[in-house]
Structure 1
Amino acid sequence: MAWYPKVVGLDTDWTIWQNYLGMEYWGKGPGAASTSQDNIERVDRWTLRDKTNKNMWIKQYNDIANIVYDILKNGAKLAIVSRNRNKEMCDRALTFFNANNPNDGNKEYSIIHLVTYDEIIDQSKVEHWRRIHGWSGEDYSEFLMFDDEAAHNSVRIEVGVTFQQARDKKGLYWDLYIEGLNAWRRAKTVIMHNTPTAPKNRKLIGYSGLPGFWIDLIGKGEGIVEPKTPYRWGYAFYIADYIELAKYFCGWNGTWINDDGSKVCEVWVRDYEAWQSINKVWVPENGGGLIQMNNIHWSYEETGQNQEDRDRIIAGFGVPTPYVLFSRHHWMNGMPVPQPQRWSEMVVYTQVQRALFDVVPLTDAQVKANTNPRPYPFHHQIKEWNITVPSVTWQEFKSRGETDYY
């Protein structure tokens, strides 16, 4: 039997139904009821409209009833996870939309009566999932969320919930549901390696310069999201293969944030054999259709969409999520490498980070006494670590006269 999440969360507007159900627009016509939800009427099995303004309507997407049935049939709990500002209106709409209940002789129920976690509140969806985590007692790796807005992939970045975007206002349809389940299963395979109390074959593979609160987040298995700091390959844990670069970035952090004292940290994988099996890709610094993220100047939605688009392009290289990304990085002023030489960086996203990685902060004395400054030069690990290198990356290496890769 295939694995299933313990909780599947669905957004409302543009995910369960087409259009926006909003108190800003509904119930504004003549004779409108004072309670916004009482202005909703049913047109047919799929469509609801505003009693006072027939131009205001929502329509349930065709596959939703079958998807709800499948979620329940496979033992998962259904959550509604929405930032819609009127919970009462959404709940009323969900009383009109129906699905069969596999746990009660396939009888037809209003969808609202099949919901275990009714999280409709205008808050960060990370907070929605924190509450579901608390109520259910399940790890974040057991959760899957479908949502039309890319900005809400913050649930994957911050706490490791698998996120699947219902993009282009097409809503949630069956093939996309299966795509989300497969993404969750791949992530679940990674998280099964999470053995922080009993690491095996543990290895030091690099260094990072991290502020104290980032070190704390990584220790809790949470991801780094800092809109004031540039993250060109998305919000993630960035690792260098050379301790002097980690020292450089300790100072660099203070140019972007109120740094509480960055530390050079050793970066360890808990299980080297498991690490070798993780999907990895080496992307070109420029080209290949990849656009580097400009989170400092972009909106949350633009930032989120950039991350979703990157995943799709990299999937086209034959590397599905979750993956670890490698890239060369251009020289910057003051870097401890010869100008204009590029250096290698590793980018680890949250689901892999929380499954396999630990950091060990070093004192200044320990950094000074370090005798293993470059344990694994990343550009020499392509075969050893099974890193996929697409042709566009090899072409960039060649154009830069970089030949020392294997």
Structure 2
Amino acid sequence: MAFPRVVGLDTDWTIWQNYLGMEYWGKGSGAAAASEDNIERVDRLVLKDKTNKDMWIKEFADIANIFNDILKNGAKIAIVSRNPNKEMCDRALSLFNANNPNDGDKESSMISLVTYDEIKDESKVEPWRRIHGWSGEDYSEFLMFDDEAAHNSVRIEVGVTFQLARDQKGLYWDLYQEGLNAWRRAKTIIMHNTPTAPKNRKLIGYSGLPQFWIDLIGKGEGIVEPKTPYRWGFAFYIADYIELAKYFCGWNGIWLNDTGDKVCEVWVRDYEAWQSINKIWIPENGGGLIQMNNIHWSYEETGRNQEDRDKIIEGWGVYTPYVLFSRHHWMNGMPVPEPQRWSEMVVYTQVQRALFDVVPLTDDQVKANTASNPRPYPFNHQIKEWNITVPDVTSQEFAARGETDYF
């Protein structure tokens, strides 16, 4: 089976239970000056502070087997942690062991099995940028496990598959397999086409975008932006009607003091591949889904909201990576009759970088498209054509609103 080229693991609450840090360790009588010198091994799984028995970490039970399996499948191991105590983490990894399949399954220190030792208090996107540069591998070849949802920024910004280790249970075998399956699903959508190469490239919508967003999409990247509202998560939002794209031009002028928004055509590079992508139409309200309030929430809260939404949608039979559709309530000045709702498409980074291109339009081109092709694919008329899953709760919302034009 396909396997990532690099698998990244966090330290605290992913590889081991508890937090390892100089703030608490090495504070007892007779402690060594170097914090890492206060760590000693109790048994195969437990390390403790030599001068304070209340300070300990315990390797989660499946970690050694996971190290072995990663290497057995020809992948490299990266430690990607924001723990500011690199020397302590490295010492702990030197005291924990795993069997090395590349050396006759000889028991070896975990630190000796690590290719990329990226322990630094910085955004976790940055280590993956370095690993991308050193390895020459695309971000689609990487998988990361972490206990903090905020770090799903690696998926949002550059497309690394991210698997959350929830509820301080650490990384265990079934969760490891879940992450591998998520990576394999994401890998199946990767397209290596230039914007002009495919014969079945299709214009499917419009978006009003600032230049920095246009540049990011061109590089295959996304953004975590705390100042602009993203109700269904950090993603690329698309309208099926050019007048709505015009309306949202200037949106960033309100939130980011950026008045340079452009109406853009949104193209899929391969229409056949697009039809096979997982898609879901969610209710605007209900179904247990909570709209993200990233302007007022912490990064961990926004990350958790996105992970929880994926879990709810998984319960409706749709797995990541997916494209999300929803109706959006009418807002003042919108170019649709009040109180009519309109359709939006939400494309997350892994699908965006695999399949999507944008083409900024000049004012004359906007006028021409407005006259000739203002609504290339009304989203609500593509449910069968695009294989969009519509859960019962969404159908019930359509019925309650008297919306019947869905097919």
TM over 0.5: yes
CA–CA distance in structure 2, aligned partners of residues 107 and 175 of structure 1: 25
1:245 aligned residue: 244
After superposition, the Cα gap between the structure-2 partners of 1:245 and 1:62, relative to the gap in structure 1 and judged at 3 Å, is: same
2:228 aligned residue: 229
CA–CA distance in structure 1, aligned partners of residues 244 and 302 of structure 2: 26
1:148 aligned residue: 147
* 1:404 correspondence with 2:405: yes
- How far 1:314 sits from its partner (Å)? 0.4
Moved more, 131-140 or 253-262: 253-262
1:393 aligned residue: 394
- How far 1:193 sits from its partner (Å)? 5.9
> Conserved in 1, the CA contact under 8 Å of 2:157 and 2:223?
yes
* 1:138 correspondence with 2:120: no
CA–CA distance in structure 2, aligned partners of residues 194 and 258 of structure 1: 35
Summarize deviations over 1:40-92 as a string: whole Å, max 9, x none: 01111100011111101000000000000000000000000000001000000
1:377 aligned residue: 378
> Conserved in 1, the CA contact under 8 Å of 2:191 and 2:355?
no
> Conserved in 2, the CA contact under 8 Å of 1:224 and 1:237?
no
Residue identity in the other structure for 2:274: W
Summarize deviations over 1:160-208 as a string: whole Å, max 9, x none: 0000000100000000000000000000001146554622300000000
1:45 aligned residue: 44
- What's the secondary structure of 2:310's corresponding residue? helix
CA–CA distance in structure 2, aligned partners of residues 193 and 297 of structure 1: 38
Gaps of 5+ in 1: none
Determine what percentage of the aligned residue pairs are the same residue.
87
Summarize deviations over 1:250-273 as a string: whole Å, max 9, x none: 022211002150000000000000
> Conserved in 2, the CA contact under 8 Å of 1:193 and 1:271?
no
Summarize deviations over 1:274-320 as a string: whole Å, max 9, x none: 00000000000000010000000000000000000000000001000
TM-score, normalised via structure 1 length:
0.99
Instruction: Give the alignment of 1:164-183 within 5 angstroms.
Output: 164-183=163-182
CA–CA distance in structure 2, aligned partners of residues 85 and 374 of structure 1: 51
- How far 1:368 sits from its partner (Å)? 1.4
1:329 aligned residue: 328
After superposition, the Cα gap between the structure-2 partners of 1:219 and 1:102, relative to the gap in structure 1 and judged at 3 Å, is: same
Summarize deviations over 1:105-148 as a string: whole Å, max 9, x none: 01000000000000000010000100000110000000000000
Q: CA RMSD in A?
A: 0.8
- How far 1:224 sits from its partner (Å)? 2.6
CA–CA distance in structure 2, aligned partners of residues 227 and 133 of structure 1: 26
Residue identity in the other structure for 1:92: R
CA–CA distance in structure 2, aligned partners of residues 24 and 153 of structure 1: 27
> Conserved in 2, the CA contact under 8 Å of 1:206 and 1:239?
yes
- What's the secondary structure of 2:256's corresponding residue? coil
Instruction: Give the alignment of 1:202-351 within 5 angstroms.
Output: 202-351=201-350
Summarize deviations over 1:300-354 as a string: whole Å, max 9, x none: 0000000000000000010000000000000001100000000000000000000
- What's the secondary structure of 1:254's corresponding residue? helix
> Conserved in 2, the CA contact under 8 Å of 1:204 and 1:266?
yes
CA–CA distance in structure 1, aligned partners of residues 115 and 285 of structure 2: 46
CA–CA distance in structure 1, aligned partners of residues 170 and 152 of structure 2: 16
- How far 1:29 sits from its partner (Å)? 1.2
> Conserved in 2, the CA contact under 8 Å of 1:233 and 1:293?
yes
- What's the secondary structure of 2:98's corresponding residue? strand
Runs of 4+ in 1 over 3 A off after TM superposition: 192-197
Gaps of 5+ in 2: none
1:200 aligned residue: 199
CA–CA distance in structure 2, aligned partners of residues 382 and 240 of structure 1: 15
- What's the secondary structure of 1:345's corresponding residue? strand
Residue identity in the other structure for 2:29: P
CA–CA distance in structure 1, aligned partners of residues 60 and 324 of structure 2: 35
- How far 1:249 sits from its partner (Å)? 0.3
Tell me how many residue pairs correspond in the alignment: 405
- What's the secondary structure of 2:103's corresponding residue? coil
2:113 aligned residue: 114
CA–CA distance in structure 2, aligned partners of residues 25 and 367 of structure 1: 61
> Conserved in 2, the CA contact under 8 Å of 1:268 and 1:358?
yes
CA–CA distance in structure 2, aligned partners of residues 222 and 366 of structure 1: 26
Residue identity in the other structure for 2:106: K
> Conserved in 2, the CA contact under 8 Å of 1:7 and 1:79?
yes
* 1:162 correspondence with 2:161: yes
CA–CA distance in structure 2, aligned partners of residues 95 and 194 of structure 1: 44
